[in-house]
Amino acid sequence: MATNRLSLRSRIFLYMILLVVVASILIALVTIYQYSEQSKDYHMQRLARKEVQLLSSMNYVLKETSWPIDTEHLGLIFKDEIYKIADYLNVGFNLYDLDGTLIKSSKYAFINDSLIKCISTDILNKLSQSIDKKYIEHIDIMGDDFHSSYIVFSDSKAKPLGILNVPYYQDDSFSNAELKEFLIRLSYAYFVMLLVAVAFAYFVSKYITRSLKTISDTMNETRLEKRNKKIELKGASQEVSILVESYNSMIDELEESAVKLAQSEREHAWREMAKQVAHEIKNPLTPMRLSVQSFQRKFDTNDPNVLQKVDEYSKTLIQQIDTLSSIASAFSSFAKMPAQKNEMLNIVEVVNLALDIFTEDYISFTSKGKEVIAKFDRTQLIRVVTNLVKNAIQAISEEQEPKIMVSVYSQNNTVFITVKDNGDGISEENKPMVFEPKFTTKSSGMGLGLPMLKKIIETYNGSITFTSQEGEGTTFIVTFPKE
């Protein structure tokens, strides 16, 4: 789970729990490391003590012997004494000459075959390079740790006599048992601590985020079109208080901006509407003016066809007047919100009825089921369907084989009406402006048809969308709830 998708309260809770878990793991690791180092130190010190005891005992034997003290006579000097020393100190050891050849071992003869008869050249080199003439070899045999210490011992005159080898088995069973027992006790303690931390983190995160949740809920209810309440919090921290003051200041500025925006939008809407009305009215006025001027110049009372000409001029003026009347009706219809009538209709039947006015044989209608019952105004629904079908007919050029498909179906509690054509489609640059007033790609018309349909459908809590591809056609999709 990504933490950037979690709430602040959840983050605080998780981080506090994570802190306890990480701390417990680190302490466990440090404990294991500490026990391991202590065990290593203990065994190295014990091995060192055994070496010191052995050297001390060997020096005593060398002082008391009657044999010449040299490497050749070490086997005779320690012939019997090596067993006494090993038994007394309870330590097994071996004696090698300076070339690494075994001279004498404290082990009895029947197990001497398992001894290393000659020290490797690598160990001899490391002994010679060592300052204190000592080297410890670490051997791992089937998971057990063995040490083999090699020390060059000398006579009283510091003359090297031979090499003392002390095998040592590192027995960590007692230390490991203690470590295991300690870790079990530590896990119990941290389990209790984890439970306490969970409860503590829950209440702390809840307390810390309580003020922020109040601010969040208030901000979610903030709307530009309504009067918003300011936040009042008592006992909040300094950071939260600064946030509250900033929000309250923003609310004051937002209200001022909303008033200015509403006023600006109204003024802009009136200006745009005035421009459009003026533009549309000027279109029929120009031919009317030209017709009157032509009538004034060419009117002759003695003309035998005077009545016919007056009739023609009158028809021209009446046509332009009708155009002005349709312009006025269009703007009136656009400005007037359709009255919402909650009629229970069979949408399939009404859409099929709306298509009866079209005589084009390339218009097909399909529906999933004979009935789709929903609340809508019959007249407005017919208006929506006929307008979309007319647009589809006009979108198909003469070079194409026309095909328009209208379908009705429902999913869950939503009604879908689709009108699909195989026309020229809508270009990418025109798609954002399809539902804007005044926009049209036709040579005639005022671009108010689709905006009026959108307003009708949204009155019934519905929506209208489209998908289009240039050269392949367009599909308009109308959706609205059944109730």
Name, in order, each residue with C-beta under 8 angstroms of 83's C-beta and a sequence gap of 6 or more: 106
Per-residue model confidence (pLDDT) at position 419: 94
Least confident interval from 283-287, 381-385, 397-401, 411-415: 283-287
The percent of residues in the chain predicted with pLDDT above 90, rounded, is 11
The CATH number given to 343-481 is 3.30.565.10
Q: Quick one: average pLDDT of 84-102?
A: 89
- Give residue 327's pLDDT: 63
Q: Where are the domains of the chain?
A: 3-177, 239-335, 343-481
Q: What is the mean pLDDT of residues 262-269?
A: 62
Please answer whether residues 425 and 474 qualify as being in contact, where contact means their C-beta atoms are separated by less than 8 angstroms: yes
Q: Which residues pair with 139 in a beta bridge?
A: 146
Whether the CB-CB separation of 470 and 427 falls below 8 Å is answered with yes
pLDDT of 318 higher than 50: yes
Q: What is the mean pLDDT of residues 164-186?
A: 79
Quick one: tokens of 335? 């400005």
Could you tell me the fold of the domain covering 3-177?
Beta-Lactamase (3.30.450)
How many whole angstroms separate alpha carbon 86 and alpha carbon 106? 6
Residue 97 is encoded by which pair of tokens?
A: 């000459």
pTM (2 d.p.) = 0.39
| pLDDT at residue 477, rounded to an integer | 94
Closest CA to 377 of 449, 475, 455: 455
The answer to whether the CB of 413 falls within 8 A of the CB of 376 is: no
Question: Which CATH number is 239-335 given?
Answer: 1.10.287
Taking every pair of Cα atoms in the chain, the longest distance, rounded to a whole number of angstroms, is 175
The mean pLDDT of 191-208, rounded to a whole number, is 78
Q: Cα-flanking dihedrals φ and ψ of residue 68, to 5°?
A: -60, 140
The pLDDT score that the predictor gives to residue 215 is 67
